[in-house]
Structure 1
Amino acid sequence: MEIFNQLINIVDQNPESILVIRQQTEQRLPSHQHDKAQLLLVYGGIAYLQTNEKDFYIPSNHYIWIPKNYPHNLMFNTQDLYIINLYFPSDGVSGFYDELGIYPVSKLLSEMLSFSEKWQGNYYKGSWEFEFLTTLRNVLSKENLKKFSIQLPTTDDQRLNAIIDHVRNRLREDLSLDTIAQQFGMSVRSLTRLFQTKLHITFIQYLKMLRIIRAMELIKDTDLNITEIAYEVGYSNISAFSNNFQQLTNMRPSEFKLK
């Protein structure tokens, strides 16, 4: 809790500053929020951001915008991950900045981050660094980039979480609604209703996202080739795997591997 309190104090102790932190500060902290909005950039792996409603997956070379006072906690499973945190004071911006969203790092944003790569700490109004970082933030809403769309709804329903854990551990198997319903002593209709009522998503949609998330992890964390990864997450058709991967991530598996 001491580290947790220190982080909140560091972020919000200077309400008017823009704060730059280039380290994995927020890993595995309890759910928390800041008076400042947060721009969190991820390189070299996958970060996991949990909120009260959903789990968000942030792949390498992407960023997530977290509005001010938005409860969240961050997790990741690799030490090779490089994270940049920029915390912005509230100064009347709205629209794009009122919503949590994940987007790819554009060439322009990458160049601006490269220019400021040695900056660390607080920057105040009146300094050219403050103006530069404010411009960087303002660029985000002008780029009209497509949101990264993998986000898993969560539930407190113990029965459904047991089913999800079962599915998560057997992704390479031929999973079907009929099979899972039978294994848990339920009718297909009851299982379908459970997913739609508690998660507002179908079983097939949830399974597809679980498989693509696992594929993303394997691409970054192993030396398996794309065909091996497709089979590992339950696809016998490589074309179907590639198409589903692109549908959810806006890129082909081979492109993701290079990020």
Structure 2
Amino acid sequence: MEILKELNRIIDQYQDSILVVRQQTEQKLPAHQHDKGQLLLVFGGIAYLQTYEKDFYIPSSHYIWIPARYPHNLMYNTQDLNIINIYFPPGDQQDFYDNLGIYPVSKLLSEMLSYSEKWQGNFFSGDWEYEFLTTLKNLLPRENLKRFSIQLPTTDDSRLGDITGDIRKRISEPITLEGIASQSGMSVRSMTRLFKTRLGISFVQYLKMLRIIRAMELIKDTDLSMSEIAYEIGYSNISAFSNTFQQLTNMRPTEFRTMSSK
């Protein structure tokens, strides 16, 4: 808790400043919030943002906007993760800044970040860096980029927690609603209702997203071929795997591998 207090003190120490923090590590902290909006950019690794309602997957070369006073916790599972956090004072009127969202880093945003790659610490109105970072922030809603859509809802339902935990362990196996329901001593109808009422999505949607998240981890962390990765996550048809991957991420698996290797 002392680390958490120190983190919040640093972020909110100067109410009107823009704070840049690089390679910040939040994976051991409980959920926290701060008075500033947070632009969190991920490069060279895999990050997960955990909230009370959902777990968000943030792939390399993407960013997430976290509204002010939004409880969250960042986790990661790779050694080469590189993140940049930019904390902005509140006061924006656009809806974009009131909603959590994940987006790809555009070429223009990438060039602006490259220009400011050595900046760190607090910057105040009147500083050149402050004006530059404000322009960077104002750019975000104007790019009209499509949101990255992979997000796994969470639940405190112990039955569903056991079920989803088992699915994660058996991700490479053929998994069906009927099979999971039977194994759990439930009817298909009851299982379907449990996912809908507790998670807000269907069993099939949950399984798809879980498999694609695992595929992204394998693409990033291994040299397995796409056919091998498809098999590892339970797909017997690489075309079906590729189509589902594109449906959820707006890119083909090969595109994601190229992006992750930069």
TM-score (norm 2): 0.97
Q: Quick one: distance in 2 between partners of 1:27 and 1:183?
A: 34
Deviations along 1:129-166, whole A, 9 cap, x unmatched? 10000000000010000000001111110001100001
| SS state at 2:143 partner | coil
Q: Quick one: distance in 2 between partners of 1:52 and 1:127?
A: 37
Q: Quick one: distance in 1 between partners of 2:16 and 2:184?
A: 54
Partner residue in 1 for 2:164: 164
Partner residue in 1 for 2:201: 201
Segments of 5+ residues of structure 2 without an aligned counterpart are none
Partner residue in 1 for 2:18: 18
CA positional deviation for 1:44: 1.1
Segments of 5+ residues of structure 1 without an aligned counterpart are none
Partner residue in 1 for 2:56: 56
CA positional deviation for 1:225: 1.3
Q: Report the residue type matching 1:97 in the other structure.
A: Y
* Consecutive aligned runs of 4 or more in structure 1 exceeding 4 Å deviation: none
Q: Report the residue type matching 2:116 in the other structure.
A: S
Deviations along 1:191-248, whole A, 9 cap, x unmatched? 0111111111110010000000000011111121111000000000000000000000
Deviations along 1:100-122, whole A, 9 cap, x unmatched? 00000000000000000000000
Q: Quick one: distance in 2 between partners of 1:194 and 1:224?
A: 35
Partner residue in 1 for 2:43: 43
1:130 has 2:130 as partner? yes
Partner residue in 2 for 1:94: 94
Q: Report the residue type matching 1:184 in the other structure.
A: S
Partner residue in 1 for 2:28: 28
Q: Quick one: distance in 1 between partners of 2:152 and 2:218?
A: 18
Partner residue in 2 for 1:243: 243
Partner residue in 2 for 1:118: 118
| SS state at 2:39 partner | strand
Q: Quick one: distance in 1 between partners of 2:48 and 2:13?
A: 26
Q: Quick one: distance in 1 between partners of 2:28 and 2:38?
A: 17
| SS state at 1:141 partner | helix
Partner residue in 1 for 2:184: 184
| SS state at 1:65 partner | strand
